[in-house]
Amino acid sequence: MPSVSIVMATYNRAHLIGETIQSVLGQGFPEFEYIIADDGSNDGTEEIVKSIGDPRIVYFKRPHTGRLSSLRNFCHSKCRGEFIAYVDSDDIWMPGKLDMQVKVLNQHPGAGFSFTDIELFNDRGTIQPSLYKREGLEVCNVFSQLLRNELVICHTTLVIRRSVLGLVGENDESFLSGDHDLVFRMSHATEAAILNYPLVKVRRHAQNTSYGDIYRLQGFDEHHRTLKKLLDSRKITNEEYSKAMSNTSYAFASQSLVYGDHERAIHYLKKSLAGNPWNVKAWLRMGLMLAKKVFRF
């Protein structure tokens, strides 16, 4: 019986997936199964995966849905390990990543999941060597940090106890991704073991910057749906909900401007002000945007 089930959902990544798979197989941690759910790829992804021939790889070809939430739930139904690890099919695990996270979870049984720092890179090299800019191990509850929008957890770094899914439930398949929703629910229920080292290299490339921008915009709305779910289930108060909506809406407005979506930026600025009418920065940004829209300068 494998101690770790590694989960990967993929779609049309034939040009990248081989490098990702080799970074996983080279971990030096042999006791795992590697479950790959292919979301109907038509670019040779299946041939690349099957050509590797490692018996730990279990490959499933699925009809295309574009829904990570359902693909990951399908993978969960196939998992046999005590732990579940996730890897995106365009990223690279650093040597020793899996071993370090399994060890720290075994050493801290009160932690339900672990995540790590990342290095952001592209085909020209490193873009950002660290997201967190600190070192060492932390074991703590991160729910309040997530609620204040002070922490980003990259799903491709996660290792979770399979028992945690039994505690908090599977991915909500009404979400396109469900990443943040699951992390919020896990964080409310249990502590996290944080390895503040960039143990995963997250790749930026044309396929995930064009489609990825659209995906992230969808993710903004899903984040707010998660906050509403937390409020409705009484996991947060009305005051916490209003603050979280205001803070995240302002952040989402700023990011929407980066993507050139001015209408969506105004939409989120209005949401930010609804949650906190005294947000001076939101009023200033809203006024500047409306002035530009009226006078077209």
Tell me: the pLDDT tens digits for 239-262?
999 999 888 888 888 777 777 777
If you search the block for the tokens 């909506």, which residue do you land on?
A: 245
Q: Which two tokens stand for residue 58?
A: 């279990």
The DSSP annotation for 209-223 comes to: HHHHHHHHHHHHHHH
pTM of this prediction exceeds 0.85: yes
Contact yes or no for 228/182 (Cβ under 8 A): no
pLDDT at 42: 92
Q: How many residues does the chain have?
A: 297
Task: Assign 7 to helix, strand or coil.
Answer: strand
The pLDDT, as a whole number, for residue 258 is 74
Report the pLDDT value the prediction gives residue 294, as an integer from 0 to 100. 47
- Cα–Cα dist 12/16, whole Å: 9
Q: How far is CA 125 from CA 177, 216, 286, in A?
A: 28, 23, 37
State the pLDDT at residue 237.
96
pLDDT value for 219? 73
pLDDT of residue 119: 95
- The pLDDT assigned to 154 comes to 94
Mean pLDDT in each 10-residue stretch from start to end of the chain (297 residues)?
A: 94 94 92 96 94 95 93 96 96 96 97 97 91 95 94 95 95 91 96 97 66 60 93 96 89 78 77 70 60 52
Q: Which of 142, 174, 173 lies closest to 158, judged by CA?
A: 142
58 strand-pairing partners:
35
Question: Distance (Å, rounded) from C-alpha 204 to C-alpha 218?
Answer: 18
What residue type is assigned to position 184 of the chain? F
Angle, alpha carbons 136-141-145 (nearest 5°)? 90
Q: Which domains does the chain have, with CATH numbers?
A: 4-204 (3.90.550.10), 208-295 (1.25.40)
Strand stretches in 175-287, DSSP E: 191-203
The pLDDT assigned to 210 comes to: 35
